[in-house]
Amino acid sequence: MLNDDQMPTHPSLALIARVLFTSLFFLSGLTHFTNVPYYIDLMSIEIPFQVFWIYLSGVIELLGAAMILANWHPRLGGWLLVLFMVPVTFAVHGYGMLYDETEAERIMEQAHFLKGLALTGAALLITQLGVKPGSMTASE
């Protein structure tokens, strides 16, 4: 556990970091409801109940991002994003990285896979550290 003197001290930077981190999840979460065919095309045909998983992952993504941005139970929000990122990173981008038809597609999926790992790591940091109290609303 970190002492208070080891935590970030500038509330504006904590807010900017949360806005930058969660912006991807808000945009992606919204498009889970506005562009379902796009997400179906990303998924392997072997995944059952595709539309259900798309809607559920959109809800989880939006809820986790909102919790982190609002600094309301941000550690739980981080866990929700980890819950979203792990299966998406491996089942969608990992699969595509290995099995997409062209080399260019496989390279693109590799970039998405690595981005997914990095975002998962950042969300895991939030599960452990939370975010700076008092920078938007009360923390956990």
The reported pLDDT for the residue numbered 95 is 92
Residue 66 · residue 77 · CB < 8 Å = yes
Q: How confident is the model at residue 5 (pLDDT cuts 50, 70, 90)?
A: low
What span, in angstroms and rounded, lies between the C-alpha atoms of 21 and 15?
10
What span, in angstroms and rounded, lies between the C-alpha atoms of 30 and 104?
27
Number of residues that this document lists for the chain: 140
Can you tell me which residue has the tokens 């941000």? 74
- Residues 32-38 have a mean pLDDT of 97
- Residues 42-61 have a mean pLDDT of 93
What span, in angstroms and rounded, lies between the C-alpha atoms of 96 and 17?
30
- Residues 45-59 have a mean pLDDT of 94
What is the overall mean pLDDT for the chain?
A: 89
The Cβ-side half-sphere exposure at 22, using a 13 Å CA radius, reads: 25
What span, in angstroms and rounded, lies between the C-alpha atoms of 21 and 96?
24
Q: How confident is the model at residue 10 (pLDDT cuts 50, 70, 90)?
A: confident
3-state secondary structure of 50: helix
Residue 140 has pLDDT above 50, yes or no: no
DSSP secondary structure, 25-57, as one string:
HHHHHHHHHH-HHHHHHHS-TTSSSHHHHHHHH
The reported pLDDT for the residue numbered 134 is 55
